[in-house]
Structure 1
Amino acid sequence: MEKSVFEKEWEIYFTQCYSNGRIRFSDLSNILQLTAGEHANAVGFGFKEMAKHNQTWVLSRIRIEIARLPKWMDHVKVKTWVQELEGARSTRNFEITVNGQIYVTATSYWAVINTVKRSSETLAISTEDFTTYPDRPATQQPFSKLDISQTVKNIDEYSVKLSDLDIVNHANNVKYLDWCMDRLPIELVLTNQIRSLEMNYLRELRYNDNVEINGDATDQGYFMTVTKQQRIHFALAIETK
């Protein structure tokens, strides 16, 4: 298989699972992102190479469509490819299979930022020999810009902790999902009712930032936000079956 399409096999460990034995949604998202990182490293525009130019990839939007959640001891195969790559932007797709059966698909939108200026800029590394697949989507629907004007109710408050931070020194994006899922009705999370998750990452959060976690039921399922001083930093749309 050419290097522009990448595959990685992961085993699901019990520490990655909810009490029902199915993988946590945050760990599912993390596996996708770890696979994306390994692919980027393999083709020369991963973390270390980009750090030489004070650059990194930042996840901006992701849509995950779930037919079935992997469970403890499953060996999952994650396949990933880039649909579009231009300037400071990239669209990357994923497919998760277990024993050849598609369990999960995802599409994601990434931006290149300068880690010193904290602003978007064009990728400094040449991608001339890298093949993209503009006609190869993975999900039934593309990622979107969520309507953040939706009405939500305050559920909880939270202060960003050391364990939430990643190597770029901001709250890792999978943490936002955990904060939200922990505040949903437990039966919604544990009874395989979730058909899709769509997330928009709007602004970063730092250590000790105080945030509000908000949410409300919608016609499709549930909508949640993480806000700081009334500005939305993260939005999550959950579609239920």
Structure 2
Amino acid sequence: MDSRIWEETFKISSQSVNPRGVLGLFGLLNLLQETAWQHAERVGFGTDQMQKDKLYWVVTRQYAEMSQWPKYGETIRIRTWIRPPSGAFVLRGFKVVNSKNEVIGQCAMSFLALEQGSGRILPAQNLRPWQDLVSEESLILEPEKIPVQGQYEKLAEFAVRNSDLDINQHVNNAKYAQWILDSIPFDLHKTLKLNSYSVNFLTETLLGDTVEIEKSLSDSSQNEERGSTAYRGVRISDGKNLFTARLNWEKR
């Protein structure tokens, strides 16, 4: 396999489906993350090498959309590639392919490289000779900037636990989506179909933080057939906005 385009195969397990028996958003994000992780290992950005280089990657934005959510027991393939870096940022693309070789989902993520200890942003183009690592395959999606401003209402709050942390001792990227999903009334999970998920990560979230999940008061009416709802996470101790997110949905 050409290491510039990496592919992993997954059978949808009982641990990754939601109460409807299909792959859920939290499960999808974990599979995307695992695919990116395996690709990074092959192209010299694995954990051991990053430790030696005294740097780590952080996701700054992510946008994923799904036209079809695979069911329990189905097999999917996730393909990923890295685009040439632009300034400090690196973009990664994904395609989700079902057993019929149909593209049922896509995702785009942007990353920054930070220096361990100081957290200083490092220019991505200077980190590696990129010509043998990147692919010219296009990115159809582009991670959007989600505004923080506006009026929001509190839905829930979550204390960061040991199990929320990743290998860099920051909150795992997929956990933010899980907090949002856990804040939404279960009746809406049964009546709405998620089409896309966007998130902007604004500040690192660490063990000991308590995060308030808030929903925008200017989101679309729940009576419409389609809509978009914005969320944000606020650290209670200092009032800092940790992330913004948007879910685009339609009624079943």
Is TM more than 0.5 here? yes
Shift of 1:72: 1.1
Quote the residue 1:118 is aligned against. 119
C-alpha distance in 2, partners of 1:12/1:156? 29
Aligned amino acid, residue 224 of structure 1: Y
C-alpha distance in 2, partners of 1:188/1:89? 36
Quote the residue 2:94 is aligned against. 94
- Between the two proteins, the alignment pairs up a number of residues equal to 238
Quote the residue 2:109 is aligned against. 108
C-alpha distance in 1, partners of 2:104/2:188? 19
Quote the residue 1:138 is aligned against. 140
Quote the residue 2:223 is aligned against. none
TM-score of the pair, normalised by structure 2: 0.88
Question: CA-to-partner distance for each residue in 1:27-73, whole Å, 9 max, x for gaps?
Answer: 10111111111111111122221211111111110101110112211
Contact 1:215 1:224 in 2 (8 A): yes
Quote the residue 2:149 is aligned against. 149
Shift of 1:167: 1.1
Contact 2:29 2:174 in 1 (8 A): yes
Quote the residue 2:132 is aligned against. 129
Contact 2:82 2:133 in 1 (8 A): no
Aligned amino acid, residue 138 of structure 2: R
C-alpha distance in 2, partners of 1:29/1:192? 19
Question: CA-to-partner distance for each residue in 1:172-208, whole Å, 9 max, x for gaps?
Answer: 1111110111111324334452111000111111111
C-alpha distance in 2, partners of 1:109/1:128? 18
TM-score of the pair, normalised by structure 1: 0.92
Report percent identity of matched pairs.
24
Contact 1:146 1:200 in 2 (8 A): yes
Shift of 1:102: 1.7
Aligned amino acid, residue 140 of structure 2: A
- Cα RMSD, aligned residues only: 1.7
Shift of 1:129: 2.1
C-alpha distance in 2, partners of 1:95/1:81? 9
Quote the residue 1:222 is aligned against. 229
C-alpha distance in 2, partners of 1:221/1:205? 25
For structure 2, the 5+ residue unaligned runs are 221-226
Aligned amino acid, residue 101 of structure 1: E
Quote the residue 1:232 is aligned against. 241
C-alpha distance in 2, partners of 1:189/1:49? 41
- Within-5 A mapping of 1:192-231: 193-216=193-216, 218-219=219-220, 220-228=227-235, 229-231=238-240
Shift of 1:166: 1.3
C-alpha distance in 2, partners of 1:192/1:155? 18
C-alpha distance in 2, partners of 1:221/1:13? 29
Question: CA-to-partner distance for each residue in 1:146-170, whole Å, 9 max, x for gaps?
Answer: 1111321011222111111111011
C-alpha distance in 1, partners of 2:176/2:45? 26
C-alpha distance in 1, partners of 2:16/2:148? 30
Specify whether residues 46 and 127 from structure 1 end up closer, same or farther in structure 2 by C-alpha distance, changes over 3 A only. farther
